[in-house]
Structure 1
Amino acid sequence: MKTLLALSIGAVLAGSTLLSTSVSAVTPAPYIHTQFSVTESMQQADLLVVLVPEDSGELRLSGWDRASRNHINRAISVAAFDGKAGSQLEIVAPVGLNYGRVLLLGVGNPAELTRVKAEDMGASLSSWVNGTKAETVHVHSQLIANASDNHRITAAMSHGVELRNYRFDRFKSQPDERPAQRYSWQVALATDARAQIEQKQALAQGVFTARELTNLPGSSGYPEAFANFAKAVLEPMGVEVTILGPEQVKALGMGSLYGVSQGSDMKAHLLVARWRGNNDEAPIALVGKGNTFDTGGYNLKTQAASILRMHTDKAGGAAVVGAIQALAGQKAEAHVVGVVPLSINMISGTAQLPGDVVTAGDGSTIEIGNTDAEGRLILADGIWYAREHIKPRAIVDIATLTGAKVGALGTSYSALFTKDQQIETTLREAGELVQERVWPMPLDGYDTIVRSRIADRINTGSPGAQAGAIFLQHFAGDIPWAHIDMAGDAFNASASGIHPEGSSGYGVRLLTEWVKLFQAQQN
């Protein structure tokens, strides 16, 4: 018996034409066309994939006669296939079998195969399958005898297949056909494996949402459009969504957020999304930078290659939306609120000027040392709003904030700033789990680097990554807080591993796993 786990239920932006003033053009639609089912028995398919532990010896699967076994095992011997993790052996037109191809895929020692390695193997499998004409794929995992390893590896591989098969093609008049294979996963126990795959599917949908939002061009993913898209995705899942428009932002005194977009026709918004997965009074707060296109303001970005990618400056906010979606889809037992300050720093006669002074929501004043350091300006009010109006037990903010972070750490790690040991430990654990790793950076000794001559603080300073973190730390007050600078991690110039070309959806998996780890330690 097999139960269909449809992957076409996600939310994505649809429509072939978007006007910069049209919010109604942002509507839900399917993300990908791949479908999964789970079974405990062999199924007919165009392609058979066998997951082979290391040193399995002669392969004998149900339904293989002597001629089939001899053909397969002779191929194994000639190719010296040993089942090491990630190794592959393709057998075309296998004797006696109704499969066009058999792919042997090594899993090494199943007990030692990490989640990340299994996900990468799933992504590699997806890429390989997409290069064939196979429409149906049967993945046989029952050589992995331990049921726990069997289900864990199968779910992780299915997740890798999903993540690699995402495509951002909504602006193409004649897009290439998306991968649309039907996968059946033969497992030790269908019920347990199905539950784990469904959890991974919910996580993948959150990643897809973040990728979609981040990939949107500036004139399509502007503040109001971003907020309304998130509402359309999240509300049907039971998430409480509140959108504050520009007049409400101004009325609450959030001049730091409002000022970044004051020169644009598309003014600042604040998105608040609450998932009540338990009865905890004090939630966990996630705050994500949502600058929907970063021109630099009057400190204009002048390099064409740089400004072309500035639609990705909303990747932190997209990660928060995706994490809330994933947690809701997984029915996570956590009370979490996502806050996304949304802006676009366009130039006009009313735009913010270098040297201006704005008043943030907490009443403190900020000198605008550089209009291109707008991310910390909008995050300041987002963090303050979370602290003042949500009363959380902890705040974690995430942003593509500084080029200095890329200079210090490259893209192998995000920079982590916090003085809370529990938050640091759990964020690092979550990062290792999904390979969205964070590296702790110091806060002590930098207290004066954002001191202003004319205001309470200035939005610039050196070293740059520390200046951003020190600036933001003030607005968290006494709430346990961490800042993640994910600059450089939002976009992939080419497909690699679980990521297709374009937005990576970075941060969704990190934040989703962190919330669950942190919640477990708090109980």
Structure 2
Amino acid sequence: MARSPFPSVPTRSVDVPTRSVDVVVTDTARRGTPLAEVVAEGERTPHDAVLDDLSATRAPGEVQVLPGSEGPGWLVGVGAGGPRSYRTAGAAFVRAVQAAAGAEADAGGRPAVTVQVRLPAGATVDEYAAFTTGVVLGGYRFRVTGTEDPPRPRRIRLLTDRARTDGRADAGRADAGRADADRADAVARAVTTARATALARDLANAPSNVKTPDWLATTAERVTAGTAGLSVTVRDERWLADNDFGGVLAVGGGSASPPRLIEATYRPRDARTHLLLVGKGITFDSGGISVKPAAGMHLMRTDMSGGAAVLAAVRAIAALRLDVRVTALVPAAENMISGSAFRPGDVVRHHGGRTSEIENTDAEGRLVLADALAYGAARYRPDAVVDVATLTGAMKVALGLRTGGLFASDDGLATRVAEAGARTGEAWWRMPLSDEHTPDVTGDLADVRQAPPGPGGITAALFLREFTAGLPWAHLDIAGPARAETTYAEVVPGGTGFAARTLVELAASYT
């Protein structure tokens, strides 16, 4: 395959993973360290008069800045509480702290590198974890730049109920100590899962002149290298041809950057359940010969958000040492236009022998997923299969930009996915696998039709089901929530990392 004569941007110009703030739990407050107080509705605090003067509502994410002699302070509203409100509050708080640090640096000062936060008395373990998620992700920022990063706090200290402002900790009962330990464990775990989301964002946001399939594969190797129990194997185009990955080779055939299959394996000794995760890894999607409109095409650097979520999730699963075996597959390819691009009307043969009739080269994601699903199901016979993809515009129309589409052949697996998302703050809505549309997937020239008529999200899911060997299977269509144009809660514009936290929590549900 011909190589491009033009050099790509050096890979060192993209720093992955980006640095995120550390969050720890402590029962010792520090004098002179900026302090934020999180205030809930109906809770009496020493700051009630100030809040009244400011007409503060204490709504989730409302931040009041209170300059003081020892630096700025903040009052952060959390409303009636609950994980969702605490995520929103954590994100709003960290953005306010970053803004204060930038203003102080611009004025010639030295911003604090550590900030401490007092949550309301009795805040639950889940609320500590949710606030942490908001802090880690709310201030996320990805740029490819030659300038220095703006000043930002590096550590957030969450004070427990026993912490006092005189630098000591109240002598607490043994059960209070256990509660603090539980909070610390929950916060540490929340940091790991939030960083999985951040890594998925990094991979999705990386520009496509850097993010070739080979770059994605070598980056996967690099960022997982220090994770105990996790190994990554990269399959090249020759291996793909020898093993009949006709879908991946067809989609990647028009690009000067050949496709790859990334295979990550985590296998703890005593695991009783094997989970197969498959993520779409289209590093750029021009639509191929069925070319996309120019408007919005630049966003197609995020068309591998499903693969990013899968890679980030398996890294976090291994880091948390969850007692579940996980195999992650990411078929990576560029869908480009050239003399070697695949065409509407072509027939491709997938791993395992099943053939697909090509009707639209812009429906390429299901072709690469079909190969990986067939390979993973046949080789590993896992207990459950989950694929993740920015697959269809139909899901954006049906569910909008903040909810993922959930299709499943197994009710128990569907429930696990939905509940995992609810626990981590990612919303899923189960969609029907309507059997009346199954005949639409049957091909005339080949075994199956790649882009059959009918409701696009449903028929795409039915197409993928043909390659799952009857195993319990869920398909997560994240075409809507994988990207954001505005800031809300812990989400910032760009790739969102959606689904990574759900996959980690799903794996945890099997332990």
Structures share fold, TM-score greater than 0.5: yes
Structure 2 CA distance for partners of 1:284 and 1:126, relative to 1, 3 Å:
same
Amino acid at match of 2:239: Q
Counterpart residue number, 1:140: 118
Partner of 1:510: 502
Task: Specify the alignment match of 2:43 in structure 1.
Answer: 56
Shift of 1:29: 5.6
* Contact 2:283–2:334 (8 Å) recurs in 1: yes
Q: Residues 264 and 327 of structure 2 are in contact (CA less than 8 Å); yes or no, is this contact kept in structure 1? A: yes
Q: Which residue in the other structure is 1:66 paired with?
A: none
- Choose from 163, 173, 184 the match for 2:146: 173
Which amino acid in the other structure matches residue 422 of structure 1? Answer: G
**Cα distance, 1:233 vs. partner?**
1.0
Q: Is the 8 A contact 1:19 1:220 kept in 2?
A: no
| Residue of structure 2 equivalent to 1:431 | 421
1:161 aligns with: 135
Q: Matches of residues 339-358 of structure 1 in structure 2 within 5 Å? A: 339-358=329-348
Correspondent of 2:85 among 117, 125, 134: 117
Deviates more, 1:150-159 or 1:377-386: 150-159
Aligned to 2:74: 103
Query: Hey, what's the Cα distance between the residues in 1 that align with 2:56 and 2:138?
Result: 26
- The letter of the residue matching 2:140 is Y
Q: Which whole-Å CA distance do the structure 2 matches of 1:152 and 1:423 have between them?
A: 24
Look up the equivalent residue of 1:119 and give its one-letter code: R
SS in 2 for 1:293: strand
Deviations 1:396-454 (A, max 9, x none): 10100111111222223222111201011111112222332221222121111122221
Matched, 1:479 2:457: no
Per the normalisation by structure 1, the TM-score is: 0.85
* Aligned partner (choices 158, 174, 189) of residue 185 of structure 1: 158
Q: How far 1:78 sits from its partner (Å)?
A: 3.7
Which residue of 1 is the match for residue 233 of structure 2? 242
Name the counterpart of 1:65.
Answer: none
Identity between Structure 1 and Structure 2 (%)? 32
- Taking a change above 3 Å as real, the CA distance of residues 85 and 425 of structure 1, as seen in their structure-2 partners, is same
Aligned CA distance change for structure 1 residues 36 and 485 (closer, same or farther; 3 Å): closer
Letter in structure 2 aligned against 1:152: D
Residue identity matched to 2:83: R
Task: Give the aligned residue type for 1:458.
Answer: R
Q: Which runs of 4+ in 1 moved over 6 A?
A: none
Asked whether the 8 Å contact 1:208–1:505 carries over to 2, the reply is yes
Q: Which moved more, 1:281-290 or 1:176-185?
A: 176-185
Q: What is the Cα deviation at residue 330 of structure 1? A: 1.7
Paired with 1:436 and 1:231, the residues of 2 have a C-alpha distance of 27
Task: Select 2:260's aligned residue among 255, 258, 269.
Answer: 269
1:295 paired residue number = 286
1:440 and 2:430 matched:
yes
Alpha-carbon distance in 1 for matches of 2:428, 2:271: 28
What is the CA-CA distance between 1:124 and the residue it aligns to?
0.6
* RMSD of aligned alpha carbons: 2.3
1:404 aligns with 2:394: yes
Instruction: Find the partner of 2:249 among 241, 249, 258.
Output: 258
For 1:251, the aligned partner's letter is D
Following TM superposition, by how much is the alpha carbon of 1:278 offset from its aligned partner in structure 2, in angstroms?
Answer: 4.8
Deviation of 1:359 (Å): 0.6
Shift of 1:280: 3.0
- Unaligned runs of at least 5 residues, structure 2: 1-5, 102-110, 162-176
Change (3 A) 1:26 1:481: farther
When the two structures are superposed, what TM-score results if normalisation uses the length of structure 2?
Answer: 0.87
Q: Deviations over 1:172-196 (max 9, x none)?
A: 1225415234322211445333322
- The aligned counterpart of 1:393 is 383
Query: Retained in 2: the 8 A contact 1:427–1:514?
Result: yes
Distance (whole Å) between structure 1 residues aligned to residue 444 and residue 125 of structure 2 = 60
Q: Partner of 2:172 in structure 1?
A: none
Q: How many residues align?
A: 476
Q: Distance in 2 between matches of 1:206 and 1:34?
A: 13
Larger mean CA deviation between 243-252 and 113-122 belongs to 113-122
Q: Could you tell me how far 1:30 is from its partner in structure 2? A: 5.6
CA deviation map 1:5-58 (0-9, x unaligned): xxxxxxxxxxxxx94497x75887662253444321221245321233443335
Q: Deviations over 1:243-299 (max 9, x none)?
A: 111110110111112111112221221111112245236510110000110011111
2:31 match: 44
2:444 aligns with 453
Q: Secondary structure at the match of 1:447?
A: helix
Q: Distance in 2 between matches of 1:407 and 1:73?
A: 45
1:75 CA drift (Å) = 2.1
Aligned equivalent of 1:14 = none
CA distance in 1, matches of 2:82, 2:45: 25
1:307-360 CA distance string (max 9 Å, x none):
111111100000100111121222222111111111111222221111111111
In structure 2, C-alpha distance between the alignment counterparts of 1:45 and 1:203, rounded to whole Å: 31
Q: Confirm or deny: 8 A CA contact 1:246 1:269 kept in the other structure.
A: yes
Whether 2:25 is the aligned partner of 1:34: answer no
Query: Does 2:66 match 1:91?
Result: yes
Structure 1 unaligned spans of 5+: 1-17, 60-71
Query: Which residue in 1 is equivalent to 2:97?
Result: 129
Find the residue that maps to 2:441 and give its secondary structure. coil
Structure 2 counterpart of 1:69: none
Question: Matched residues in 2 for 1:27 and 1:306: separation?
Answer: 22
Q: Which amino acid aligns with 1:453?
A: D
Contact 1:292 1:344 in 2 (8 A): yes
- CA distance 1:348–1:80, shift in 2 (3 Å): closer
SS of the equivalent of 1:319 reads helix
Structure 1 CA distance for aligned equivalents of residues 135 and 147 of structure 2: 24
Q: 3-state DSSP class of the match of 1:304?
A: coil
